[in-house]
């Protein structure tokens, strides 16, 4: 009798605590997406201020990627020691001031350092908040990853949609101060509700050895190829609309806003869709839609059609990454932290490194051709989509 009462009490505690934890991790995703969305309309101004060519901007974006990949493994090891809650709190506090630093720099070297830190703390926060989301997902025994990433997209929509308007009407400095205050407010609200997950100190030794199974690497490749187009729209969408299609400053930021809007809507629906169609079929449908949207953007004759293409691509890409991350956290015979570490590192290298390479390609061809080429990477994701079945594991937990 007492055992049943204890079980009921534990269940009641879980049911009361988990919704707050889910709110908290959703706010963390929203704050991170908001800051990256805020960065998108700032890129043309940043490049003009430092007098960067397309290849020069590509090198700057490479610093962003280097910073992120430098700190992501550090974040992973600290999560194993202290749990994701402490790591996401520390990384978020360090991340929020970095956009102000980017706004104030006046030289190429200072800009490179600022972007390195911006990318570094972005990556650290990304790994920590995804690890926290996997922990909440496992505790709830249901999928929540798509909706968490929906809040990231919603944050990106707010940041990109308001960014161009604010820069044009209140100036660059006032814009970043408003953005920093908003992101800080989201963190303050989330702070006391972030789920306290148990550290996995044994994983520290395991993380030193790369997994021999090809499964996490193949899912990592799927995440990588899903995130490369996302990075291309984030970092080059505004420049494509401005330089090749003639959009003004305020309108150019709306390309990523349209992309983020459809991603947010479809990610909020993503968990419901996965419950009914399964992860594999959902991944296949998303791959086809992503490819179609990028093709529309590449062949667009004007800004409106290009924005429609980005919006359609957002529908497709919306649930590709969350499915890959859920699959990584539920691989059989592999510690969750190890699988997630491999897949997130490979996946985020797509959104961080690929845009820097695009700068070099764009200088010798056009961004339209880049989006055309990127549409084809979805064929590889389509071929690997069967691996998405591991994302359905939380539903099968007893």
pLDDT digits (tens, 9 = 90+) for 20-54: 889 999 999 999 999 988 988 888 889 889 988 87
- Residue 116, pLDDT score: 95
The overall average pLDDT reported for the chain is 82
Q: What pLDDT does 114 receive?
A: 95
Q: In the block, which residue shows the tokens 């998303």?
A: 286
Could you tell me where the beta strands, DSSP code E, fall in 262-319?
Answer: none
Q: Could you write out the three-class secondary structure of the chain?
A: CHHHHHHHHHHHHHHHHHHHHHHHHHHHHHHHHHHHHHHHHHHHHHHHHCCCCHHHHHHHHHHHHHHHHHHHHHHHHHHHHHCHHHHHHHHHHHHCCHHHHHHHCCCHHHHHHHHHHHHHHHHHHHHHHHHHHHHHHHHHCCCCHHHHHHHHHHHHHHHHHHHHHHHHHHCHHHHHHHHHHHHHHHHHHHHHHCCCCCCCCHHHHHHCCCCCCHHHHHHHHHHHHHHHHHHHHHHHHHHHHHHHCCCCHHHHCHHHHHHHHHHHHHHHHHHHHHHHHCHHHHHHHHHHHHHHHHHHHHCCCCHHHHHHHHHHHHHHHCCHHHHHHHHHCCCCCCCHHHHHHHHHHHHHHHHHHHHHHHHHHHHHCCHHHHHHHHHCCHHHHHHHHHHHHHHHHHHHCC
| pLDDT for residue 287 | 94
Domain count, the chain: 1
Look at residue 151 and tell me if it is in a domain.
yes
Q: In this structure, what CATH number is given to the domain that contains residue 370?
A: 1.20.1250.20
pLDDT at 139 over 70: yes
Is 1 part of any domain? no
Residue 281 structure tokens: 């079929």
pLDDT > 70: what percent of the chain? 87
**Each residue's pLDDT tens digit, 142-190:** 778 888 988 987 888 888 888 888 888 898 999 999 999 999 999 999 9
14 lies in a domain? no
Using CB atoms within 10 Å of the CB of residue 157, give its burial: 0 to 12 exposed, 13 to 18 middle, 19+ buried: buried
**For residue range 76-114, what is the model confidence (pLDDT) as tens digits?**
778 878 888 999 999 999 999 999 999 999 899 999 999
Domain membership of residue 55 (yes or no) is yes
Q: What's the confidence (pLDDT) of residue 7?
A: 43
Q: Is residue 164 assigned to a domain?
A: yes
Asked if the structure places residue 7 within a domain, the reply is no
pLDDT band at 333 (very low <50, low <70, confident <90, very high): low
Instruction: Dump pLDDT digits (tens) for 304-320.
Output: 898 899 899 989 988 89
Q: Tokens 């992501």 map to which residue?
A: 72
Higher pLDDT, 46 or 58: 46
**pLDDT over threshold 60, residue 235:** yes
Most confident of 172-186, 315-329, 352-366: 172-186
Q: What pLDDT shows up at residue 34? A: 93
d(CA 98, CA 88): 16
pLDDT at 145: 86
Q: How far apart are CA 134 and CA 295, in angstroms?
A: 33
The whole-model pTM stands at 0.76
* Higher pLDDT pick, 393 / 90: 90
Whether 69 shows a pLDDT value over 60: the answer reads: yes
Which of 73, 346, 353 lies closest to 223 in space, CA to CA? 346
Q: Are 163 and 102 in contact (CB under 8 A)?
A: no
DSSP assignment of 130-194: HHHHHHHHHHHTS--HHHHHHHHHHHHHHHHHHHHHHHHHH-HHHHHHHHHHHHHHHHHHHGGGS
For residue 5, being part of any structural domain is answered with: no
Q: Please give the residue range of the domain that contains residue 274.
A: 19-200+207-396
The answer as to whether 248 is a domain residue is: yes
Residue 350's closest CA among 317, 309, 308? 317
Res 397: pLDDT = 47
Confidence label for 335 from pLDDT (cuts 50, 70 and 90): low
Residue 2 has a pLDDT of 43
Bigger pLDDT: 290 or 11? Answer: 290
What digits encode the pLDDT tens for the residues 252-305? 767 777 887 888 888 888 888 887 888 899 999 999 999 999 999 999 888 889
Residue with tokens 């200088």: 363
């Amino acid at each position: 009798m007492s055992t049943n009462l204890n079980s009921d009490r534990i269940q009641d505690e879980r049911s009361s605590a988990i919704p707050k934890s889910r709110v908290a991790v959703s706010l963390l995703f929203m704050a991170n997406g908001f800051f990256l969305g805020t960065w998108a309309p700032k890129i043309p101004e940043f490049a003009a201020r430092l007098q960067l060519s397309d290849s020069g901007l590509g090198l700057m974006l490479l610093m962003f990627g280097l910073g992120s990949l430098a700190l992501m493994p550090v974040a992973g090891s600290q999560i194993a020691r202290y749990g994701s809650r402490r790591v996401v709190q520390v990384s978020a506090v360090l991340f929020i001031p970095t956009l102000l630093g980017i706004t104030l720099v006046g030289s190429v070297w200072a800009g490179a350092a600022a972007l390195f830190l911006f990318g570094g703390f972005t990556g650290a926060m990304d790994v920590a908040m995804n690890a926290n989301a996997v922990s909440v997902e496992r505790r709830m025994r249901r999928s929540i990853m798509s909706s968490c990433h929906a809040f990231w997209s919603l944050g990106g929509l707010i940041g990109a949609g308001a960014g161009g308007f604010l820069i044009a009407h209140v100036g660059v400095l006032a814009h970043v101060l408003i953005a920093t205050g908003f992101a800080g407010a989201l963190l303050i609200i989330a702070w006391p509700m972030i789920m306290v997950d148990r550290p996995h100190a044994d994983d520290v030794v395991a993380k030193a050895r790369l997994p021999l199974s090809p499964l996490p690497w193949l899912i990592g490749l799927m995440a990588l190829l899903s995130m490369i187009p996302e990075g291309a729209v984030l970092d080059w969408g505004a420049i494509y609309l401005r330089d090749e299609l003639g959009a003004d400053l305020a309108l150019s930021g709306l390309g990523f806003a349209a992309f983020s809007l459809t991603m947010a809507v479809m990610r909020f629906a993503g968990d419901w869709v996965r419950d009914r169609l399964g992860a594999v079929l959902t991944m296949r449908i998303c791959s086809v839609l992503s490819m179609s949207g990028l093709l529309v953007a590449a062949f667009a004759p004007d800004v409106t059609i290009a924005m429609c293409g980005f919006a359609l691509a957002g529908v497709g890409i919306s649930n590709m990454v969350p499915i890959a991350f859920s699959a990584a956290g539920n691989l059989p015979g592999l510690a969750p932290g190890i699988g997630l570490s491999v897949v997130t590192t490979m996946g985020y290298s797509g959104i961080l490194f690929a845009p820097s390479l695009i700068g070099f390609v764009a200088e010798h061809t056009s961004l339209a051709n880049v989006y055309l080429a990127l549409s084809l990477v979805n064929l590889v994701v389509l071929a690997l989509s069967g691996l998405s079945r591991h994302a359905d594991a939380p539903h099968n937990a007893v």
